[in-house]
Chain A
Amino acid sequence: MSGMIDHHLHIKENKPVAFSDATLEKIGVIISHYPEGQQKSALLPVLHIAQQELGGYLSVDVMDRVASLLNIQPVEVYEVATFYTMFHLEPVGKYVIEVCQTGPCAICGGEQILEHLEKSLGINVGETTPDGIFTLKTVECLGACGTAPVMQVNTEFHESLTAEKIDRIIGDLKEKSNGKTSEVRWAELF
């Protein structure tokens, strides 16, 4: 993990990080959900918002900005961002596809689903398509085992997957890839 952060500090660009005024206001609301002096509690929700609204991953600049917003040390943000799997520390595609590989999905064809995606996207797990649209990853149990196999595309669930269903989903995403995503904004959830 320390290597990862070293790498990140290396690519720190000191670019200004600009949350919109509306988002900053929302962050203030989230902080108010916790007792005075406990604003650090807002870290996970704020990181979700930051990742979604500021480029799809948490650059060191973004993490430093979050630290100053919550009045905590940057390292307190780094140690959390590196612990939780939903946060990306490297640039990712517009759509991050995460295929569940845990037991119940695995015995219901989750491994074949992953292979099918690798073939149809032309990339291996862990890679991003050259056009920057798709990143393919594996994920551990998504808590939807009754409708296995399952994957999420940027936290949107797709269940009871088959090869045909995946082709349809990928086709739709490719068509929409120039427009805005229909994904729910984290900032709207508080």
Chain B
Amino acid sequence: MGRAVLTEKIGIPGIRGFDVYRSNGGYRNAEKALKEMTPADVGKEVTKSGLRGRGGAGFPTGLKWSFLDRKSDKPKYLICNADESEPGTFKDRYLMEHLPHLLIEGIIISSYALGVKSCYIYVRGEFKYIIAILQKAIGEAYQNKMLGQNILGTNFSLDIFLHPGGGAYICGEETALLESLEGKRGNPRIKPPFPAFRGLYNCPTMVNNVETLAAVAPIIGMGGNTYASIGIGKSTGTKLMSACGNINKPGVYEIDLGLPVEDFLYSEEYCGGIKNGKYLKAVVPGGSSVPVLPADLIVHTQKGDKRLLSYESLAEGGFETGSMLGSGGFIVYDEDACMVRNTWNFTRFYRHESCGQCSPCREGTAWMEPILRRIEEGKGKKKEIDLLVSIADKIEGNTICPFGDAAAWPVSSAIRHFRKEFEFHVEHPDIVKNINHGSLIRYI
């Protein structure tokens, strides 16, 4: 089993409650930060740790923090991004459900480092029961003077508020989240200005993912250098992987970054192999937005090296033969999975979730979805396969936010690696019609 840095306390009965968390060493890291360290010291440890944004982008957290406009006389805000909605990703939910106080502790330490007095946790509205768990934990933290005025008897004060989303994938994008938090539609903003200068209510704002903020607590406990000694190269520390699809043991696993994909997929500690003794066909390793890889390229790189669960190794080979670690949403497909159908499914998702602000994304997803559906139903034309690639190319890089790329990559990668399957659908409509699930295709 990999090291449990984030999930160390998860098996302790009652750990969701303040008293049990506290008596098992909880909030000791917050105590250390607030009483023994300056805010700058905390920032330095986070930089040393090499921690990278766990929401998907993988941007170095210490560097992102350094951008916050500290000189501004306006209030500064920390936003915890708990709008987890990337298909295949369910790690933040796991963390919040089982260790709500770890998140609160991470938020306290981070807010101290950033000079923040108000933090909003933006939780997707569908996670109402998670909001209830967090609300209880926040209430306990206030009762025990871990939140509010003069935390732990220091000069530091902090309020945390919960804010529910309304059901919109796009609000996981940080500027869309800020719009949503201001009570508007979740239309992403043009950057610059970056939120670190002009974010919530035009004030300096830091937006970090749940797992990122939670990791700050153990980093302060063990020191940035110790954290950085875990992992491989620039992929330091541990990562929560959420594994799903056609595997024996779907679930959330904490791994040391650098674990070979093959070990993760087949060992009993983790995914436990492909369900029903079937063969592996493909993996989407970092949430639906990252390129899909066929079995041979997910286990080994094109060069023949073992593929590792790290930011660098998964990207090895660029998009020609590689993918991305993304959010750690690891979706596994067995030999029976239809890649055309899956691509259509994901594209329907992106069409539905596009905010509609940029034409390439709004129109492009609305063109790709029916084309893919036609091909899946055996009614497609061969030239439409290239048309899909062309549309995806024209969306990529041409939108305000990364959603456009996220909508384009699943299509272009599926055709890159599984073109024969798309061609088969076009060339053998009768066979496809007989085996497809046409009556089940619907769009509501």
Contact = CB atoms under 8 A, between A and B. Distances in A.
A47 interface: yes
Contacts of A40: 182-184
B125 A86 contact: yes
Contacts, number: 165
A83 to B, nearest CB: 4
A112 to B, nearest CB: 8
A167 interface: no
Interface stretch (B105-113, B161-169, B229-237, B362-370): B161-169
Contacts of B244: 104, 108, 145-146, 148
A55 interface: no
A152 B126 contact: yes
B128 A184 contact: yes
A137 B126 CA distance: 15
A130 interface: no
B75 interface: yes
A102 B288 CA distance: 10
Given A107-B333, A145-B250, A189 B89 contact: no
B183 A84 contact: no
A186 interface: yes
A102 B349 contact: yes
B135 interface: yes
Contacts of A45: 163-164
Nearest to A111: B440
B181 interface: yes
A26 interface: no
Interface in A176-190: 184, 186, 189-190
A44 B345 contact: no
Interface in B222-255: 242-246, 250-252
Contacts of B132: 184, 189
B164 A48 contact: yes
A141 B87 CA distance: 6
A101 interface: yes
B399 interface: no
A143 B84 contact: yes
A25 interface: no
Contacts of B245: 104, 107-108, 145
Contacts of A126: 444
Interface in A88-137: 101-104, 106-108, 111-112, 114-115, 125-126, 137
A33 interface: yes
B324 interface: no
Nearest to A152: B126
B291 interface: no
Given A145-B90, A157-B129, A106 B185 contact: no
B183 A86 contact: no
A125 B442 CA distance: 9
Contact of B329 (A115, A145, A186): A145
A138 B444 contact: yes
Contact of A76 (B183, B242, B243, B355): B183
A146 B271 CA distance: 11
Given A44-B166, A104-B87, A145-B250, A80 B183 contact: yes
Contacts of B201: 35, 38
B88 A86 contact: no
Contacts of A157: 126, 129
Contacts of B337: 107
A43 interface: yes
A170 interface: no
Contact of A44 (B163, B243, B246, B341): B163
A62 to B, nearest CB: 15
B162 A190 contact: yes
Given A86-B125, A143-B126, A44 B89 contact: no
Contact of A84 (B168, B181, B182): B168
Contacts of B90: 143-146
Interface string B77-108: 00000001111111001000000000000000
A189 B165 contact: no
A14 interface: no
Contacts of B129: 156-157, 184
A1 B186 CA distance: 16
Question: Which of B161, B244, B246, B355 counts the most A-chain CB atoms under 10 A from its CB?
Answer: B244
A49 B354 CA distance: 26
A189 B333 CA distance: 38
Nearest to B346: A103
B438 to A, nearest CB: 11
A101 B162 contact: no
A83 B166 CA distance: 9
A68 interface: no
Given A40-B182, A107-B342, A143-B85, 9 more contacts: A38-B182, A48-B166, A80-B184, A83-B185, A103-B284, A111-B437, A114-B440, A189-B135, A190-B135
Q: Which 9 A-B pairs have the closest CB atoms?
A: A84-B166, A43-B183, A86-B167, A40-B183, A85-B167, A145-B244, A146-B250, A83-B185, A141-B87
8 contacts: A35-B75, A84-B165, A86-B166, A106-B342, A144-B90, A145-B88, A155-B125, A189-B164
Interface of A: 33, 35, 38, 40-45, 47-48, 70, 72, 76, 79-80, 83-87, 101-104, 106-108, 111-112, 114-115, 125-126, 137-138, 140-148, 152, 155-157, 184, 186, 189-190
